[in-house]
Structure 1
Amino acid sequence: MLLLSREDIKKVFTIKDAIEADKKAFQYVVEGKCEIPLRTNIQAPKYDGCFLFMPAYLEEMDTASLKIINIFPHNIDNGIPSSPAQVLLIDGKTGLVTAVLDGTYVTQLRTGAASGAAFDVLAKKDCRIGALIGTGGQAPTQLEAMLAARKLEEVRVYDMNPERTKAFAEQMQEELKAYGTRIVAAASSDEAIDDADLIITVTPSSKPVFDGTKVKAGATISCVGAYQHHMQEMDPAILPRASKIYFDSREAVLSESGDILIPLEEGIITEKDFTGNLGDVLLGKVVGRENDDEIIVFETVGVAAQDLVAAKEIYDKAVEAGVGIQWG
C-alpha cells in the first residue's frame, strides 16, 4: 500500500491535471459508468461533528475508492483541521487497498478543478477580471483553477473579514505569481464582482454573498459552497438573468443545494430552466455557451467520482515517479 501525503501529491499532480480528471469524472457520471451510492453520514452530536463516508466504483478503470471526511468544527479551537479526510484507493481486480491519500488535499484539488472545468468549457474565451468570494480552506485551489482556465489580468478577493482577505490576497499573489495575474483584496462583494467575467463563491453562507443584479452580461459563475439545504451563497436574482444553468450532477444538486432548492421552492425558477450537467456538454449531448453575452451559472456540490478519478491518476503518476511511502 502506498501512502501519499499532500507534498507527495504536489510533486506529481497539478491543478490542470485535476481539471482534466474532473472532466473525465463528470462524463462518467452522465454515462452512468460510475457506481456512486449515497454517502453515509453518522452524526457525533456530543462534539457537533459528523463522519462522512463516500464510496465509488468505476469498472472501466478497475478501481474503487472510499473517501472518509469528518467534520468537527471545534477542532479549529485546538489548532487542528476541522475537516480531516483520507481517500482509500482499491484495486477493482483484487479488492486490495493500493493507496491511502491525503483526502483533504485531494478534496481541495478536485473541488477547485470543478470550477476550472466549468470555466474551461463554459466561459467566454476573452476574460480579463475574476472574482473570488470566500478565503477558507477551499479558496486557494479555486483561485488557481480560475487562473488555469483563463488568462486573467486581475482577480478580486472578498471575505467578510478584511484582515483575512488582505492576508489571503497577499499570500496568493506570491504563491501564484507565475500566472502573472494581479490578486487584490476587495472591500465588498460589489467591488469584487464589478465587471468580473468569472465569479466563484466558496463559502458556507446561508444568505447570498453577492448581488445578482450587478453581475455583468457574459459572466460565468461557479457556486461551490452550498452543499446543504439551508445554505444559499447564490443570489436567486441571478437565475432569471442566466441564459443557462448547469450542474456537476443534477441529482446531487437537487438533493442537497439550497442555492437551487430554495429558489425552486419559492417559484423563482422551475426545473425547465435547467440546461444539464457539465458532463452532457463535454459529451456533446447539451449545448454550451452560444455567445459572449450569456450569463451562465454552474452549481457544484461534488461527487465521489471526482475523488476516484483524481486519486487513481495521482496514484499512477506517483508509482511512475517513485513518490510516496510503501507500507505493509
Structure 2
Amino acid sequence: MLLLNKEDIKKVFDMKDAIDAAKESLSIFSQGKSVVPLRTNIDIPKYEGQSLFMPAYVESLDSAGIKIVSVFPKNIEKGLPSVPAKMILLDGKTGDVICIMDGTYLTQLRTGATSGAAADMLSRKDSKNGALFGTGGQAASQLEAMLTVRNLNIVKVFDIDKERAEAFAERMSGELSRFSTKIVAAESSDDAVNDADIITTVTTSKKAVFNGRLVKKGAHINGVGSYTPVMEELDEYIVQNADKIYMDSKSAVLSESGDFIIPIQKGLIDESKINGELGEVICGKIQGRISEDEITIYETVGIAVMDVVTAYKIYEKAVKAKIGTNVDL
C-alpha cells in the first residue's frame, strides 16, 4: 500500500493535470459511467463542524475509493486546515486498499480544478479580471485554477477580514508569481465584483457575498462554498437572471446547496432554469456559452467521482515516479 502526503502529490501532479482529471471525471459522471452514492454527512455541532463520507466507483479505471473529509471553519483560528481529509483508494479488481493519500490537499486540488474546468469551458476566452471571495483552505487552489485557464491581468480578493485578505493576496502574489497576474485585496465586495470576468465564491457564508446586480454581461461565476441547504453565497438576483446555469451534479446540488434550494423554495426559480451538468458540456451533449454577453454560473458541491479519478491519476504518476512510502499492513 502506498502512502502519499502533500509534498509527494505536488512532485508528480500539477493544476493542469488536476483540471484534465476534473474534466474526465465530470464527463464520466454525466454519462452515467460511475457509481456515486450521495455522501453521508454527520453534523458535529459541539465544534461547529461536519464530517462527510464520500464513496465512488469508476469502472473504466477499475478503481474505487472513499474520501473522509471534515469541514471545521474554526480550524483557521487554530492554524489548522479548515477541511482536513484522507483519501482511501481501492483496486477495483480486488477491492484491496492500494493507496492512502492526503485528502486535504486532494480536496483543495480537485475542487479548484473543477472550477478551473468550468472557467475553461464557460468563461470568455478574453477574460482579464478575476474576483475571489474567501481566503480559507480552498482559496489558493481556486485562484491557481483561475490563472491556469485564463490569462488574467488582475484578481481582487475579498474576505470579511480585510487583514486576512491582504495577507492572502501578498502570499499568493509570491507563490503564483509565474502567472504575472496582479493579486490584490479588494476594498469591498462591490469593488471585487465590479468589472470581473470570472467570479469565484469559496466561503462558508449563509448570505450572498456579492451584489448580483453589479455582475457585468459576459461574466462567469463559480459557486463553490455552499454545500448545505442553509448556506447561500450567490445573490438570488443573479441566480434568477443568469443566462446559463450548470452544475457538477444536478441531483447533488439540488439536495445540498442553499444557493439553489433557497430560491427554489421561495418560488424565485424552478428546475427548468438549470441548463444541465458541466460534464454534459464537456462530452458535447449540451451547449455551453454561445454568446459573449451571456452570464454563466457553475455550481459545485463536490462529487466523489472527482476524488477517485484524481486520486487514481495521482497514484499512477507516483508509482511510475517511485514517489511515496510503501507499507504493509
Quick one: distance in 1 between partners of 2:81 and 2:239?
35
Residue number in structure 2 paired with 1:232: 232
Structure 1 segments unaligned to the other structure (5+ residues): none
Residue number in structure 2 paired with 1:22: 22
Matches within 5 A, 1:146-295: 146-295=146-295
Identity among equivalent positions (%) equals 55
Residue number in structure 2 paired with 1:298: 298
1:89 counterpart letter in structure 2:
L
Measured after TM superposition, the shift of residue 54 of structure 1 is 0.8
1:189 counterpart letter in structure 2:
S
Q: Please, which moves more after superposition, 134-143 or 43-52?
A: 43-52
Q: Please, which moves more after superposition, 266-275 or 202-211?
A: 266-275
1:210 to 1:76, Cα distance in 2 relative to 1, 3 A:
closer
Measured after TM superposition, the shift of residue 46 of structure 1 is 4.8
Residue number in structure 1 paired with 2:108: 108
Quick one: distance in 2 between partners of 1:246 and 1:195?
22
Q: Please, which moves more after superposition, 281-290 or 77-86?
A: 77-86
1:203 to 1:72, Cα distance in 2 relative to 1, 3 A:
closer
**Could you give the per-residue CA deviations for residues 64-87 of structure 1, whole angstroms, max 9, x where no partner exists?**
011011344555555444432100
Quick one: distance in 2 between partners of 1:51 and 1:171?
29
Residue number in structure 2 paired with 1:40: 40
Measured after TM superposition, the shift of residue 283 of structure 1 is 1.2
Root-mean-square deviation (CA, aligned residues, Å) is: 1.3
**Could you give the per-residue CA deviations for residues 72-117 of structure 1, whole angstroms, max 9, x where no partner exists?**
4555555444432100110011111110010000000010011100
Please say if 1:92 is aligned against 2:87: no
Quick one: distance in 1 between partners of 2:72 and 2:266?
32
1:148 to 1:279, Cα distance in 2 relative to 1, 3 A:
same
1:47 to 1:259, Cα distance in 2 relative to 1, 3 A:
closer
Residue number in structure 2 paired with 1:316: 316
TM-score scaled to structure 2, two decimals?
0.97
1:154 to 1:73, Cα distance in 2 relative to 1, 3 A:
closer
Quick one: distance in 2 between partners of 1:262 and 1:67?
28
1:30 to 1:207, Cα distance in 2 relative to 1, 3 A:
same
Quick one: distance in 2 between partners of 1:49 and 1:198?
30
2:183 counterpart letter in structure 1:
I
1:209 counterpart letter in structure 2:
V
Residue number in structure 1 paired with 2:325: 325
1:45 to 1:239, Cα distance in 2 relative to 1, 3 A:
closer
Question: Secondary structure of 2:252's match?
Answer: helix
Question: Secondary structure of 2:70's match?
Answer: strand
1:62 to 1:107, Cα distance in 2 relative to 1, 3 A:
same
1:294 to 1:79, Cα distance in 2 relative to 1, 3 A:
closer
1:77 to 1:288, Cα distance in 2 relative to 1, 3 A:
closer
Quick one: distance in 2 between partners of 1:290 and 1:72?
40
2:140 counterpart letter in structure 1:
P
Measured after TM superposition, the shift of residue 128 of structure 1 is 0.7
Quick one: distance in 2 between partners of 1:281 and 1:130?
23
**Could you give the per-residue CA deviations for residues 21-48 of structure 1, whole angstroms, max 9, x where no partner exists?**
0111111111111101122233445544
**Could you give the per-residue CA deviations for residues 244-297 of structure 1, whole angstroms, max 9, x where no partner exists?**
111011011000000011111112111111111001111111111011110011
Quick one: distance in 1 between partners of 2:178 and 2:42?
42
1:182 counterpart letter in structure 2:
K
Quick one: distance in 2 between partners of 1:160 and 1:36?
35
Question: Secondary structure of 1:56's match?
Answer: strand
Quick one: distance in 1 between partners of 2:45 and 2:170?
38
Question: Secondary structure of 2:52's match?
Answer: strand
2:233 counterpart letter in structure 1:
E
Measured after TM superposition, the shift of residue 137 of structure 1 is 0.5
2:300 counterpart letter in structure 1:
T
1:151 counterpart letter in structure 2:
N
1:184 counterpart letter in structure 2:
V
2:299 counterpart letter in structure 1:
E
Matches within 5 A, 1:72-91: 72-73=72-73, 75=75, 78-91=78-91
Structure 2 segments unaligned to the other structure (5+ residues): none
In 1, are the aligned partners of 2:81 and 2:137 still within 8 Å (CA)?
no
Measured after TM superposition, the shift of residue 49 of structure 1 is 4.0
Quick one: distance in 1 between partners of 2:81 and 2:298?
28
TM-score scaled to structure 1, two decimals?
0.97
Measured after TM superposition, the shift of residue 50 of structure 1 is 3.8
Quick one: distance in 2 between partners of 1:74 and 1:249?
28
